[in-house]
């Protein structure tokens, strides 16, 4: 459930990520896929990292 909450939080904040759940991973595991491209600016990467850190803290993952 945290995976989907974090995904929604990040999407609401303009950060596109994909949840990875069963059957792609074990039922007890989940992942969040982040994709970077060469066209992302340093500012965009910094903004995304800050949002990810905030989401992880908010949902007690970090």
State the pTM of this model: 0.85
* Residue-wise pLDDT tens digits, 5-54: 999 999 999 999 999 999 999 988 999 999 999 999 999 999 999 999 99
Provide the CATH number for the domain formed by 2-58 in this structure. Answer: 3.90.1150.10
Q: Which residues contact 18 (CB under 8 A, 6 or more apart)?
A: 7, 32, 33, 35
Q: With a cut of 90, say whether residue 59 has pLDDT above it.
A: yes
Domain boundaries, the chain: 2-58
Sequential DSSP letters for 23-62: TSS-TT--EEE----TT--HHHHHHHHHHHHHHHHHTT--
């Amino acid at each position: 459930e945290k995976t989907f909450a974090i995904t929604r939080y990040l999407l609401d904040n303009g950060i596109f990520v994909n949840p990875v759940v069963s059957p792609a991973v074990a039922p007890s595991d989940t992942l969040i896929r982040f994709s970077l491209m060469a066209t992302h600016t340093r500012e965009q990467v910094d903004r995304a990292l800050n949002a990810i850190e905030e989401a992880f803290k908010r949902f007690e993952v970090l």
